Amino acid sequence: MNTSTDRRIAVIGLGAMGGAMAATLHRAGWEVTGFDPSEAARSAASDAGIRATDTLSDLAGTPYVVLSLPAASMVQTTVPQLLAAPGTIAIIDTTTSEPATSRQMADLAEAQGAAFVDAPVSGGRDGAASGSLSAFVGATGGALAAAEPVLLALTGGKYSHIGGPGSGNVVKLLNNVLAAANLVSVGEALGVAQAYGIDPATAAASISQASGGSKVSANMYPNWVLTGTHDSGFSLGLMARDAALAVQVAAQIGETPALLAAVAGQWQEALAVLGPRADFTEIARTVAPAITPAGAPGTTPAGAPPAPVTTNGTTAVA
């Protein structure tokens, strides 16, 4: 186990997940500095007692670093800047990234005496805020030991060492595409139940106690879909990206998972209709619109007032 007592840590990316992880580390006694190009994100971090900077180079050489970035391309440009000064012990990348990128960054870090681990996480903003995330870790044994203090703070020990660099990314992508498939299949199933006159909530609760049950049927549909709130905090754009990446990673080694490819296609169709900023649970609006109060895309949600009608530039209520 790593025995460093230095508690300085940088969190790169202060969005919903990164901001929550920064707050968790701060409460756990770490000396946290955050970076984000967004002034609003930096302000929110400051309100939580976290020092924030708008200059990434300020954080070069920080002993520990957590990355929470939107894409592998940003990991590739960020890590060299963080390693530009000596002192880095471990970089923990929670980004849902690409295995080849993680392998490259692990080699780069090792050449400079630092550790890099790919540790994409699951558990959403609630898990990030409570320090109860789960993580899929790809790393050498030495890199894992160096990163362990941070992993423990973010997960409470709930992480799996999958294998070498990049392997955490592979399993996280497979996890997400399976969740994407389940969101589609549960929605379709509950749509069938409703068509038979069965309350979707009752069907979901019953299924969740049987062999067809899952977190999707037990939590996601009851909490975010059937209520019409769709406020999980994870975007449809990111899930569509992850599903597509999972299929691409499979193709790189000659695998052709037909069902997963079909699911990825459905998410691309939903993305085209709903846009990347929609909540990922809004996939239900395209596969089973009758079961969510939000309704199908382009329709008026149940209970909403009628839309204004515009005639010759004048707005009137229909």
d(C-alpha 274, C-alpha 256), whole Å: 28
Which of 26, 42, 103, 172 is catalytic? The answer is 172
- Nearest residue to 1 via CA among 117, 146, 137, 113: 146
> Do 136 and 172 touch, CB atoms closer than 8 A?
yes
> Do 32 and 49 touch, CB atoms closer than 8 A?
no
d(C-alpha 182, C-alpha 173), whole Å: 14
In the residue annotation, 158 being an active-site residue is answered as no
Q: What share of the chain is helix, strand, coil (3-state, %, to 5)?
A: 50, 15, 35
> Do 264 and 244 touch, CB atoms closer than 8 A?
yes
CA dihedral (133, 139, 145, 147) positive or negative: negative
Instruction: Return the structure tokens found at 12.
Output: 């790169």
How far are the Cα atoms of 14, 68, 144, 220 from residue 17, in angstroms, in the given order?
A: 7, 7, 22, 18
d(C-alpha 103, C-alpha 101), whole Å: 5
> Do 213 and 182 touch, CB atoms closer than 8 A?
no
d(C-alpha 20, C-alpha 300), whole Å: 34
> Do 117 and 88 touch, CB atoms closer than 8 A?
no
Q: Read off the DSSP letter of residue 182.
A: H
Residues near 250 by beta carbon (within 8 Å), at least 6 away in sequence: 256, 257, 260
Active site residues: 172
